[in-house]
Amino acid sequence: TANMDISSDEADDWFMESLHIYRDLHVFQLEHPTKVIEWTGEKSICVADYSSARNEILELLLPLKLYAGGNKGLCPERDFKLQHGGFCDEPVECLRHIFGKRCVVTSGQYSSKLQVWDIGEGDSDIIKRTGVINPKCPSDKGRKIASGVTDGASVLHGSRINDVQQTELVSGRVLYAVGTDSLDAVSGLQFVNSSTFVVCANNGTLYVGDTRDPRMKHYVLHGSMSGSHWVFALRKDQPHSDPAACTVARLSSFGQVLVSDLRNLCSPVRQAQLNLQQNMATCDFLNVTWAPVLDSCLAVSGFDGKVHIFDTTSWSTVSQTPQPVFVHRGHDLSHEAKTDGTLLVVTTHVWHPWRPRTLLSAASDGSIHVWDWVDKNFEHF
Ligand SMILES: *[C@@H]1O[C@H](CO)[C@@H](O)[C@H](O)[C@H]1NC(C)=O
Ligand SMILES: *[C@@H]1O[C@H](CO)[C@@H](O)[C@H](O)[C@H]1NC(C)=O
Ligand SMILES: *[C@@H]1O[C@H](CO)[C@@H](O)[C@H](O)[C@H]1NC(C)=O
């Protein structure tokens, strides 16, 4: 449904229903929309502007009411709070927090450079740039970034498969560069352990590399699946995972999902055709993530103004059209005031690291929500 079709009755109904289907639901309005939400601490996130001339990077404190436990009624803090802020010279495409440090790395839509930011501490409320990394062979803009899991802070980044490299943040030294000539665009990358990493190309091909070897293995999809845009998510049980315990999910702009064991990327173990259609001009916002706590649950967004949660447990190698276990419709339904005809889309979402059913999501109207849904099967808990 287009947002403009949503009547205020529907929004009212949803508001009444929301009292039963959410344990928590807090909404916030950013001045400009973000396509990144990155955890920077137990109760804080970083977001960044992708659409205005100012390109703000903000660190926000989550509503404290979310953490109030049994005393929710007494806790008045239901708003997100601005903690730190700064400006970037280009719209932010990707943003990664460096684990254990007050530091984030961003890439922008206009250049191939990466920018390193100190997100501030204590009294200082300024996010300031502390460094710039210029890739060795600067090609395309909007590089994708993964945080390294080594002792020294580093990032793995790339725009095309042939320019993927790992760079040390402090020195700007290139620690690793891939040795392949594939020009496929990178849709995402992630480390499995401190040396093994996975890269997903826009056309769905997966590449598995090791930072001690420039060669990468690659796994191509069957021809019938080409022509769509693919993104991926890696599920691992701990920072330094055994690849045997890792599962890869790939999502296409046609709503296909393939779930594979990292040890055997050739033949998916589960697959599905989601009842979702890409009706945006771009695939910029397509996102799939594994739930960190709920085993085998996937969240999917970027098709419309909703976030869909699926449980993959019952999926098999035979493709099926599964029903979601939960749909967050809040962005659509709180958007009714603006009837300018533009299609609202959820731009990104993230799971809370340890609260099983809590997610954050952001949409193209600048709304950002944190929500904890009620599992109907376990209501008595
Ligand atoms: C989904 O969004 C999250 C939060 O912005 C980001 O960390 C993740 O890389 C995105 N995943 C994909 C497949 O784009
Ligand atoms: C990461 O996992 C791969 C595959 O099991 C293994 O070959 C490699 O040695 C591991 N790397 C480290 C640094 O443990
Ligand atoms: C994706 O690109 C790779 C490398 O260019 C190519 O080998 C592969 O056939 C492509 N896959 C599809 C599904 O088009």
CB of 56 closer than 8 Å to CB of 31: yes
Best substitution site from 350, 360, 368 to test ligand 1's pocket, by max atoms within 8 Å of Cβ?
350
CA dist 68 and 70 (Å) reads 6
**Is residue 161 scored above 70 in pLDDT?**
yes
Question: Which ligand lies nearest the alpha carbon of 361?
Answer: 1
- Residue 88: inside a domain, yes or no? yes
- Residue 380: inside a domain, yes or no? no
Q: Which residues share a beta bridge with 166?
A: 156, 176
pLDDT tens track for 96-115: 999 989 999 999 998 999 99
Backbone angles phi, psi at 71, to 5 degrees: -100, 25
| Helix/strand/coil for 12 | helix
**Is residue 245 scored above 90 in pLDDT?**
no
Q: Is 106 in the pocket of ligand 1 (CB under 6 A)?
A: no
State the closest ligand 2 atom to the C-alpha of 196, by its place in the atom list counted from 1: 1
Residue-level length of the chain? 381
Q: Is 216 in the pocket of ligand 1 (CB under 6 A)?
A: no
Residue span of the structural domain in which 41 resides? 8-372
**Is residue 3 scored above 80 in pLDDT?**
no
- Residue 45: inside a domain, yes or no? yes
- Give how many domains the chain has, as a whole number: 1
- Residue 102: inside a domain, yes or no? yes
Query: In which element (H, E) is residue 145 found?
Result: strand 144-147
Looking at 146-240, list the stretches that DSSP marks H as alpha helix, in order from N- to C-terminal side: none
State the closest ligand 1 atom to the C-alpha of 288, by its place in the atom list counted from 1: 13
Cα(211) to ligand 3 centroid in Å equals: 23
Cα(206) to ligand 3 centroid in Å equals: 10
Mean per-residue pLDDT, 320-349: 84
CA dist 310 and 355 (Å) reads 17
Angle, vertex CA 12, rays to CA 8 and CA 15, nearest 5: 135
- Residue 381: inside a domain, yes or no? no
Q: Is 348 in the pocket of ligand 1 (CB under 6 A)?
A: yes
What tokens were used for 376? 């109907």
Statement: the pTM of the whole predicted model exceeds 0.85: yes
CA dist 88 and 50 (Å) reads 10
Q: Is 350 in the pocket of ligand 1 (CB under 6 A)?
A: yes
Query: In which element (H, E) is residue 61 found?
Result: strand 56-61
Confidence of residue 340 (pLDDT cuts 50, 70, 90): low
- Residue 377: inside a domain, yes or no? no
pLDDT tens track for 13-44: 877 888 889 999 999 999 999 999 999 999 99
Question: Which ligand lies nearest the alpha carbon of 346?
Answer: 1
Q: Is 195 in the pocket of ligand 2 (CB under 6 A)?
A: yes
CA dist 135 and 165 (Å) reads 8
- Residue 378: inside a domain, yes or no? no
Higher pLDDT, 218 or 239: 218
Of all protein residues, the one whose alpha carbon is nearest to atom 1 of ligand 3 is 203
- Residue 248: inside a domain, yes or no? yes
Of all protein residues, the one whose alpha carbon is nearest to atom 13 of ligand 3 is 226
Q: Is 194 in the pocket of ligand 2 (CB under 6 A)?
A: yes
Cα(286) to ligand 2 centroid in Å equals: 30
Confidence of residue 381 (pLDDT cuts 50, 70, 90): very low
Q: Residue 283 belongs to a domain with what CATH number? A: 2.130.10.10
| Structure-token match 């296409």, residue found | 252
Predicted local distance difference test score (pLDDT) of residue 69: 75
Predicted local distance difference test score (pLDDT) of residue 19: 82
Mean per-residue pLDDT, 56-80: 83
